[in-house]
A and B are shown apart, each in its own frame.
Chain A
């Protein structure tokens, strides 16, 4: 096989060609387009230097707001999703009747697409919350998604509901790798539940935390569907996240070149955070 170049390329060709066409060429041309005044599909592109980038960094307050919103959201989502995911994993790995059913229930929202999730929660927040609020006289249940704060918390609830079960599965896999003998030995030596959690379980689950945090960052930072379906960035662009800001710049303002420059910034940030976090995480892991 080593000698047969024909076989090598023949086997690689279908996926490599699709990959080049769909990912490689658009990534490269996209970087070039970010320096142009491109304004629509099929339209011409004139080189305008760094003008798009300087606008994105200086005068675009919507973009800045989307950046801050997305960062704050990602930070909160990482903490909430992984904390709840880990607690759920601890819960369902205690052997009891029905623990499998609970596992299935907690994971279920992860299967449902972002568009359906977003509209489902829009119904819950706007219709159900306000009905409950009126009935019970609780004022903070009223007017959800009508301002940036409740939009932020609402989005956080949706994503926590969706991703916690996913992280739970990852933590379960890691928890099941911890040999019972170690836990029993610690117990005999007098370690209580909290000692065992702090000194045995947590260090040994650390690799899974690296994965969990990585996946949550990547999902939260690039969030689009849920953002569109829940608030569509409103009110007054207050809940517009980066991906939606890029989309709107292209398709509602017809500024493709400018949107592309924001997308390149977006890519650099996503790749930077992901690689940085993986490096940090890997250095903290404990080998058994």
Chain B
């Protein structure tokens, strides 16, 4: 028993050391973000002699934070909402309507998961510029198009296991297809909705390439895109750069801490199913 406890203690100690190494990069970043540029170059490893908070106010301004944060939030939230609404509707009728066309449409959505983004990006940009969709409205449509594959597959798997009786009863009582869906089915989908929302929101929030191709215009840029442009402009300014990176990480870390349980469930379920 004692031997076992010692092993366990040793393992935990190792775990704590690894965990410290794991947060070290972010800690170092945080530490440097309070230093002047001169101090970063002279004594990068030490604690800041005096706290320079102006890095943050400058980075905040250079990132156009209010604007780019608003763009990111709006695009992420609206895209995620329409993805979960339309994908769940699609998945529901595909499950309930057992026919050849349902199978074909489902396979279409699923097989697109194997197509990498690089393979569609050039024709997509070409097509979208013809349709005048190279804007913030267009990118939401694109997120719906890309997000629907995974989301339909996930909803499909979940809805298959929901008993049909409730819906049949509702139909017999005179509910039409919309009433049945919104009053009966939708409330039952809550657990999988959380999963699908988390997966899509995380991907869209962090996405860089699609915004770079579609909405790379002043005033439209999202936070990752603006961060990238920021480093193009201030490559050697690590005083501002470290602060900008911390600013960029804060929203996602706050979100994670506030909804850790759902994030972990969403990410795990999304991967396993």
Neighbouring A residues of B227 by C-beta, 8 Å:
115-116, 119
Q: How far is the CA of A103 from the CA of B263 in the complex (A)?
A: 13
A30 engages B252 (CB within 8 Å): no
Q: Is residue A71 contacting chain B, with contact meaning CB distance below 8 A?
A: no
Neighbouring B residues of A50 by C-beta, 8 Å:
none
Neighbouring B residues of A1 by C-beta, 8 Å:
93, 96-97, 171, 177, 180
Neighbouring B residues of A169 by C-beta, 8 Å:
264, 267-268, 271
* Nearest-Cβ distance from residue B144 to partner chain A, whole angstroms: 4
B148 engages A11 (CB within 8 Å): no
Q: Is residue B217 contacting chain A, with contact meaning CB distance below 8 A?
A: no
Q: How far is the CA of A27 from the CA of B121 in the complex (A)?
A: 9
A121 engages B241 (CB within 8 Å): no
* Nearest-Cβ distance from residue A276 to partner chain B, whole angstroms: 12
Contact with A along B128-170 (1 / 0, CB 8 A): 0110000000000110111011001000000000000000000
Using C-beta atoms within 8 Å of the partner chain, give the interface range for chain A.
35 or more
B23 engages A105 (CB within 8 Å): yes
Q: How far is the CA of A14 from the CA of B92 in the complex (A)?
A: 14
A11 engages B145 (CB within 8 Å): no
B114 engages A275 (CB within 8 Å): yes
Q: Is residue B118 contacting chain A, with contact meaning CB distance below 8 A?
A: yes
Number of residues in B with C-beta < 8 Å to the partner?
89
The prevalent SS among residues of A at the interface is: helix
Contact with A along B220-234 (1 / 0, CB 8 A): 000010011001000
Neighbouring A residues of B144 by C-beta, 8 Å:
14-15, 18-19, 22
The interface of chain A, by Cβ under 8 A from chain B, is 1-2, 4, 7-8, 10-12, 14-16, 18-27, 29-30, 33, 38, 41-42, 88, 91-92, 94, 96, 98, 101-116, 119-121, 123-124, 127-128, 131-132, 135, 161, 166, 169-170, 172-173, 193, 208, 211, 215, 222, 224-225, 228-229, 242-243, 246-247, 250, 256, 259-260, 263-264, 266-267, 270-271, 274-275
